[in-house]
Amino acid sequence: MSAATDEQITYLELSEEGGGAHKFYEVRQSGAELTITYGRIGEPGQARTTAFPTAEKAAATAAKKLGEKVRKGYAPAVRGVRQRRAVTRRQIVSTRSTARQAPVLWRFRSGADAFGIFIGEEHAWVGNQAGDVYTLTHDGEVTGRFGLPDGVKCIVADDYWIYAGCDDGRVYDLGGKVPRVAYEIAADVDIYWLDIHDGVLGVADARGGITTVDHEDEFQWRR
């Protein structure tokens, strides 16, 4: 890490030839505060700052995050040496499956119809029509549970951000110990779909409307 006063910065990149990955990951520690920024090389990316009880806990989290990225192929780099490159679209050839039934890894009963499902690198999230959101390991073990005020139709996660879209027209942030309202789309909107790209959250409702918001809580456009 390089230091500026009490600030420690580590910058990593993962760049593959032939139109593969071309992204960066930066961890900036200032005392007990940790800021992680990531995205495509040459672009601003998205950032989130978290305050920890002590500088030691912030440093431990930073080391864990950096270790995960290094194991995935990221390596130390100098910002600005590699340039931004256009996003390439890979051609996908689909063939009809010959499998009679996909193998069942495990089953989980959430207690109500479950529409919101997201599988991350470390956990899986399941949200149901009763407003319950469960966090599970990849083996199906429940590690956490949130209670939201209305049915959960969709869940999406991106590093620190974990969002759930509900039938009350709100998007909830599940990244903390207690859910909080991140965005209020509209009270009469049933949220059916969420996605995150380059710091922008896309929200689609049952009537075909689409709303995008950035992580500064500002609406960009609604259709």
Could you give all domains of the chain from N- to C-terminal order, each with its CATH number?
Answer: 2-76 (2.20.140.10), 114-222 (2.40.128.630)
Q: How far apart are the first and last CA of the chain?
A: 45
Give the pair of three-digit tokens for residue 131: 């407003």
DSSP letter string over 107-147?
----SS-EEEEEE-SS-EEEEETTSEEEEE-TTS-EEEEEE
β-pairing, 22-30 with 33-40?
A: antiparallel
Q: For 106-124, how does the pLDDT look when each residue is reduced to its tens digit (9 = 90+)?
A: 888 888 888 888 888 778 8
Q: For 110-163, how does the pLDDT look when each residue is reduced to its tens digit (9 = 90+)?
A: 888 888 888 887 788 899 989 999 988 988 889 889 899 888 888 888 766 788
Mean pLDDT, rounded, of the chain = 80
Q: Is the pLDDT of residue 95 over 80?
A: no
- CA-based angle 39:43:47, to the nearest 5? 50
pLDDT at 119: 86
Q: Is the pLDDT of residue 207 over 90?
A: no
Q: Is the pTM of this model over 0.75?
A: no
Q: Is the pLDDT of residue 58 over 60?
A: yes
Q: Is the pLDDT of residue 204 over 80?
A: no
Cα 27 from Cα 181, distance rounded (Å): 27
Kindly give the residue spans of alpha helices, DSSP state H, lying in the chain: 55-71
